[in-house]
Amino acid sequence: MSREIRLNAFEMNCIGHQSPGLWRHPDDRSADYHTLEYWTDLATILERGRFDGLFLADVLGTYDVYGGNADAALRNAIQVPVNDPLMPISAMAAVTRHLGFGVTATLSYEPPFTFARRMSTLDHLTRGRIGWNIVTGYLDSAARGQGRERQTAHDDRYDLAEEYMEVVYRLWEGSWEDDAVLRDKERGIFADPAKIHKVSFEGRHYRVDAIHLCEPSPQRTPVLYQAGSSTKGRAFAARHAECVFVSGPSAGVIAKRVASIRALAAEAGRDPAAIRIFSLATLIPGETDAEASAKLADYRRFVSEEGALVLFSGWTGIDLARFRPDEVVEHVRTEAGHAALENITVADPAKRWTVGEVAAWGGIGGIGPVIAGTPARIADWMEEWIEATGVDGFNLAYALAHRTFSDVADLVVPELTRRGRYKQEYRAGTLRTKLGGPDSGRPGEGHPAAAFRR
């Protein structure tokens, strides 16, 4: 087939995720995020649509920049309450066979020794379908939950992250040799201690002197995801990430980022084409263009503009409550001395965006494009976007849970399949293998994890 288009579903253990206010829509299920059925139904839908993975975002704090407190976030359920994303995974794994799970964990608040065990356990239980989205945290409110005044400075967080990665690579890759486990019932030998090694590491931030507590899992190192867009973040992603999420409103913006990530990966000695890059989008398919447009218009009626401003304030650090809805964003940016709203305004650079328009625009699917139309129109758009940007596929947000994803599975996926741009069936093997990685399921030779193998 022509170059395959890959799909990830973008979700979070909370209400509305990227679509503030839409939990009020009668067809939305996201207010049931705290039930098991919400997650097992979602996983079933995604596997029906042969999605590569479910990507679970996370935060450990509240969006409290807007208005200087979390009141608006709580009133509108803007990513709060937010439950632990790791907990529903085994239930989802039990109702699927192929779907991957890319789960966000903030390394700043997870000791590496126990975190490595957690991931290995999930890799075992899912039979090699686990991924980890490496984040260092971006909300000061999360740091306060952990008893700190504020989060570690941005660049220091990435230094800490580098050391953290070395510790977990050593545990995952270097502690148990491939043939350490014998499971020999006759001789009564489970494992050969000579082939199991303590990780003795003493760094600036972390110390470990112990074996990894888990026997080797199918992938050992989980598939690594990253979404950093800063200079340090991109360098980190180029070194470690196997999947990268990018978001932005125009193909031009995305194309530049994709080129930069692939160039940095090549500089880091990795095959730039082996990195899977997914860009954020929201797809609203309908039988006819008119039906799809009507659907989107219906959804838009439920957007909470206050909720959208809460999100943008959290992402940018600018308290948008300090500005009138009709104020143009250019003023906001100037006054705040911050270019963070650029993402939005490049969607139509000629336009003089107001704060209110930014809110309305970003009220569905965050800062990615929202495409409504027939499956054919959407597939056209997807093919063009991939051509223009060089991404491997899409990280799809939902407008309505689970309606948006089931519409994609049932309408868009068949169209992409007909066009020869989508897998007829899942590839065998681990998530890493399904994503085009080695048949072994292990990180490829150019990846830094491989250096810690024995």
Shortest Å distance, C-beta 121 to its own copies:
4
Minimum Å gap between C-beta 310 and its own copies is: 12
Cα separation values, 152 from 139, 206, 285, 419, Å: 10, 15, 43, 48
Q: Which residue has the tokens 């965050």?
A: 366
A 10 A CB-CB count for 289 gives 15
Would you say 109 or 426 has its CB closer to its own copies? 109
> Judging by beta carbons within 10 Å of its beta carbon (0-12, 13-18, 19+), is residue 110 exposed, middle or buried?
middle
State the nearest-atom distance from the C-beta of 410 to its own copies, in Å: 24
| Comparison of 77 and 408: residue with beta carbon closer to its own copies | 77
CA angle 44–49–52, rounded 5-degree value:
90
Cβ proximity to its own copies, 191 vs 388, nearer residue: 191
Minimum CB separation of residue 347 from its own copies in Å reads 26
What DSSP character marks residue 425? S
Q: How far is the CB of 243 from its own copies (least distance, A)?
A: 22
Q: How far is the CB of 120 from its own copies (least distance, A)?
A: 7
- Taking the complex as a whole, the smallest distance from the CB of residue 427 to its own copies amounts, in Å, to 21
The DSSP bridge pattern shows strands 181-184 and 199-202 to be unpaired
Least separation, in Å, of the C-beta of 142 and its own copies? 8
Nearer to its own copies, 172 or 385 (CB): 172
Q: Under 8 Å CB-to-CB from 181, ≥6 apart: which residues?
A: 190, 191, 215, 216
All residues at 6 or more sequence positions from 180 whose CB lies less than 8 Å from its CB, including other chains: 191, 192, 195, 196, 215, 216
**Burial label, 207 (beta-carbon count in 10 A; 0-12, 13-18, 19+):** exposed
Closest approach, Cβ 98 to its own copies, in A, equals: 14
Between CA 88 and CA 99, with CA 93 as vertex, the angle to 5 degrees is 110
Contact 178, 216 (CB under 8 A): yes
Instruction: Name the residue nearer to its own copies (CB basis): 44 or 250.
Output: 44
Where helices occur in 288-374 by DSSP H, the ranges are: 289-300, 305-316, 329-336, 342-345, 355-361
- Kindly tell me which of 191 and 340 has the beta carbon lying closer to its own copies: 191
Q: How many CA atoms lie within 13 A of 407 on its CB side?
A: 27
Q: Check if the beta carbon of residue 13 is closer than 8 Å to that of residue 33.
A: yes
Q: Is the Cβ of residue 38 or residue 55 nearer to its own copies in the bound state?
A: 38
Nearest to 348 by CA among 363, 325, 329, 376: 329
Whichever of 122 and 413 has its CB closer to its own copies, that residue is: 122
Residue with Cβ nearer its own copies (147 or 337):
147
Q: Catalogue the E-assigned strands of 109-171.
A: 130-135
Residue nearer to its own copies on the CB measure, 10 or 33: 33
Nearest approach, Cβ of residue 258 and its own copies (Å): 33
CA–CA separation, 381 and 183 (whole Å): 52
